[in-house]
Amino acid sequence: MGSKKNKHIEESGQTKPVNENTANEETEETLGESQNQRIIDTGIVATNAKHAIHCLTVIGQIEGHYILPPQNKTTKYEHIIPSLVAIEQDPDIEGLLIILNTVGGDVEAGLAIAELIAGMKKPTVSIVVGGGHSIGVPLAVSAKQSFIVPSATMTIHPVRMNGLLLGIPQTLSYFDRMQERIINFVTRNSGISASRFKELMMKKDELVMDVGSVVDGDTAVKEGLIDNLGGLSDAVECLYEMIESEEGEKKSSRRKKASKKHSNNSNISKNKIEPNIDEQRAVSLLNMICSGDIVYENGKFITAGGKD
């Protein structure tokens, strides 16, 4: 059957023409797949940027210990946590940009992500677009510098829980302790005071179905909750400045270490020369004693003529 197929091809004498458009489309498709995989693997979109930064998005609802319905847009903390560890270790990534548009979600999962971001040594900048509500507030302030666009809002409210609850003092005590953890983290990583944050959290005349406050971008900056009011270009420029500042500090530290090493080597060389001088003096003194030019009397060396 194979011979018949070959014979048919030979008799037809036709060759399949190479279509340049098809080849270009295949090349573009391959490059597109490669770039998509790069975005998935590293989060770095720009290939010719001034600095290599990782873009981390926190969107929808923070999914924690319970799986949310499939129609919900979620950020899974079991995906974010290993990504943060990889970013901190990767020498090719110079900084981290966190873009937030979240309605909140699992408190402990959100705090876990926020604590990891706050504990990173690499430059980090966050920007709130759309909204940074509920547990999104600690996530927004966890970066070294935080931004918010003017149209974005942040909802600050007490800790709440869905489902069956026991109406006993221990339950209320648990809520209070969890709330204190959030307040302590926010006040430790922003410019707002604990008393003012609690006041916004317990405000009664703003939300219809809950207590709390909704602050816009300008108010969030005035309250000290967010560092800067600005957009994407402002956040990226801030991150670039932090990266360059860190590079300058590293170069200065290396120069100081090199200078200290050179100084120590000089001291070692001097210490090596001094014993040589002492040895020469000892040999000269020994030769003078052997030749009779000096003698040792009454604890002193004196010349043969009697002078000290």
Would you place residue 21 in the very low, low, confident or very high pLDDT band (cuts 50, 70, 90)? Answer: low
Mean pLDDT (the chain, rounded)? 82
Q: Which has more confidence, 176 or 308?
A: 176
Closest by alpha carbon to 94, among 129, 119, 120, 115?
120
Instruction: For residue 183, count CB atoms less than 10 angstroms from its CB and return exposed for 0-12, middle for 13-18, buried for 19 or more.
Output: middle
Q: Each residue of 160-196: pLDDT tens digit? A: 877 777 888 888 888 889 999 999 999 999 999 999 9
- The owner of tokens 């899974």 is 76
pLDDT for residue 269:
57
DSSP label at 292? T
Beta strands 300-303 and 294-297, pairing class: antiparallel
Angle at 32 between CA 124 and CA 130, to 5 degrees: 40
Q: What is the dihedral of CA 61, 63, 69, 73, to 10 degrees?
A: 40
Secondary structure of residue 63 in the 3-state scheme:
strand
**Contact indicator for 135, 164 with CB cutoff of 8 Å:** no
pLDDT for residue 163:
72
| Superfamily the domain 50-230 falls into | 2-enoyl-CoA Hydratase; Chain A, domain 1 (3.90.226.10)
Q: Each residue of 132-147: pLDDT tens digit? A: 999 999 999 999 999 9
- The owner of tokens 């204190």 is 180
Distances (CA, A) of 302 to 9, 135, 178, 270, 278: 118, 91, 89, 31, 20
pLDDT at 101 over 50: yes
pLDDT for residue 11:
44
Inter-axis angle of helices 169-188 and 194-201, nearest 10: 130
Q: How far apart are CA 300 and CA 253, in angstroms?
A: 54
Closest by alpha carbon to 94, among 132, 137, 46?
46
Would you place residue 268 in the very low, low, confident or very high pLDDT band (cuts 50, 70, 90)? Answer: low
pTM over 0.85: no
Two tokens, residue 82: 């290993």
Q: Each residue of 202-217: pLDDT tens digit? A: 999 888 888 999 999 9
Q: How far apart are CA 249 and CA 253, in angstroms?
A: 6
Q: Each residue of 31-88: pLDDT tens digit? A: 556 655 655 555 655 668 889 999 999 999 999 988 899 899 999 999 999 999 999 9
**Contact indicator for 142, 118 with CB cutoff of 8 Å:** yes
Q: Which residues are the active-site residues?
A: 134, 157
**Contact indicator for 133, 103 with CB cutoff of 8 Å:** yes
Q: How far apart are CA 75 and CA 64, in angstroms?
A: 9
